[in-house]
Amino acid sequence: MATATATATATSVDVDAAVRWTVAHATAGSPWWREHFERAGVDPASVTGAADLPRLPYSTKEDLRSSYPLGWAAVPESALVRIHASSGTTGKRTVCAYTARDVDDWADQFSRCFATAGVTPVDRVQVMVGYGLWTAGVGFQGGAERLGAMVVPTGPGNVDLQLELMQDIQSTVLCATSSFALMIAEAVEARSLRDSLALRVGIFGSERWGPKMRERIESLLGIETFDIYGLTELYGPGVGIECAAHDGIHYWSDYYVVEIVDPATGALLPAGEEGEVVITTLRKEGMPLIRYRTRDLSRIYTEPCPCGSPYPRIAHLTGRTDDMVKVRGVAVFPAQVDTILHRIEGVGPEYQLHIRRDLEHGDVLLVRVEADERPGLRAELVHQLREGLSVRPEVEFVPHGKLPRTERKTRRVFDHRE
């Protein structure tokens, strides 16, 4: 039942030896890790392989914050060649540090992502995500260059510049957040530019995006899109991606082990069940992760992919443990709303959830969506949402294109209860 063992078959890497190395490396190099194991009463020297992972303590984002900025690092600072930091949207920034080999390993994983999405050295890859402290821009660039493609590093924002270069350079691949890709797609449509473009692939990540948004971007731009996985603590984006079967995300099991645990109790879940993704790195030098709780919700596929890849798959993320809002005691995830909106004709891909509390009704959930209002639509939407969420919502319609599109992550949950 230990999901960790599922990774051992994927590649020629000796996962047990790599787990032993990671634990020994972390404890030898970092007082924080030594204390972490000591507090849990675990002798790191007793770890023989992946089967021992379930008896090791979890590590969390709070731990990473408490050892800010570099207490988690397991190498001397002179061996670190770069840092990145998370955007800090849900708390204090967390810093992640890389050795030269970590940077190299990341580019290797990322070029594998591009290859999995069918990108080749003749492609021109427009990187429309943030550079700087954020991991995205430099990650996409490093992977595309490793593959041998041409990078067009426009960064985020500036729709006019993006469109100009897409036309002049004839970019074939777009890398963006799904929110920004939607903004670009709608601009291409509004200016009737599609015939002057050479786009064929879109690689989108950093936020969960629903099937409705995917269909709209694909149909407006005439491209095939791929969902890419990553988190700052684990190199950044590029540690997993969809293949052409578009069913789940292949993850690089020669670089890290995935376990799925119950987010409430921390208990390891049987293979195939949905829970929180927990990661242990196998090669990371600068800041190794051991049983790191990502807060991402997914499950491991138990069956091989029809594409024949030796790498295992996790399902598209259904959300994050910290996306969840409780409305009248019921857990509501934005992903559920995505799925429901997808089934309903005439409703757009963007939405917002507003939760407030009033004296008469208690918690009130308002779902704001883009739609062309037609007879029966409101009743249908309320019915579907009530069935799917187990909470009766209020629904507000706004015209298509009126909800905000952003270059980064779009905020969808607004909790007005305080």
Binding string to Zn ion for residues 239 to 278, with x set by CB under 5 A, is what? Answer: ----x-x---------------------------------
CA dist 395 and 390 (Å) reads 15
315 binds Zn ion (CB under 5 A): no
113 binds Zn ion (CB under 5 A): no
Quote the least distance from Cβ 311 to Zn ion, whole Å.
8
Residues 206-245 that bind Zn ion (CB under 5 A): 243, 245
Residue closer to Zn ion by CB (options 254, 276) is 254
User: With contact defined as beta carbons under 8 Å apart, do 340 and 385 qualify?
Assistant: yes
Quote the least distance from Cβ 252 to Zn ion, whole Å.
13
Q: In 3D, which of 329, 358, 348 has the Cα closest to residue 410?
A: 348
Backbone angles phi, psi at 330, to 5 degrees: -100, 135
- Which range in 23-31, 147-155, 288-296, 299-307 contacts Zn ion by CB under 5 A? 299-307
Q: How many residues bind Zn ion, per CB under 5 A? A: 5
User: With contact defined as beta carbons under 8 Å apart, do 257 and 245 qualify?
Assistant: no
Residue closer to Zn ion by CB (options 111, 171) is 111
Instruction: Find how far residue 313's CA is from the centre of its chain.
Output: 14
Distances in whole angstroms, Cα of residue 337 to Cα of each of 50, 90, 100: 37, 22, 42
Three state DSSP letters for 232-267 = CCEEEEEEEECCCCCCCEEECCCCEEEEEECCCCCC
305 binds Zn ion (CB under 5 A): yes
307 binds Zn ion (CB under 5 A): yes
Q: In 3D, which of 228, 223, 221 has the Cα closest to residue 242?
A: 228
Quote the least distance from Cβ 298 to Zn ion, whole Å.
16
CA dist 258 and 277 (Å) reads 7
DSSP states of 312-345: -EEPPP-EETTT-EEETTEEE-HHHHHHHHHTST
Quote the least distance from Cβ 172 to Zn ion, whole Å.
22
Altogether, the residues listed in the chain come to a count of 418
309 binds Zn ion (CB under 5 A): yes
Quote the least distance from Cβ 6 to Zn ion, whole Å.
15
Quote the least distance from Cβ 256 to Zn ion, whole Å.
18
Residue closer to Zn ion by CB (options 254, 407) is 254
Residue closer to Zn ion by CB (options 245, 379) is 245
User: With contact defined as beta carbons under 8 Å apart, do 242 and 249 qualify?
Assistant: yes
Residue closer to Zn ion by CB (options 33, 226) is 226
User: With contact defined as beta carbons under 8 Å apart, do 135 and 237 qualify?
Assistant: yes
Quote the least distance from Cβ 248 to Zn ion, whole Å.
7
Residue closer to Zn ion by CB (options 27, 116) is 116
Residue closer to Zn ion by CB (options 202, 248) is 248
User: Which residues here bind Zn ion, judged by CB under 5 A?
Assistant: 243, 245, 305, 307, 309
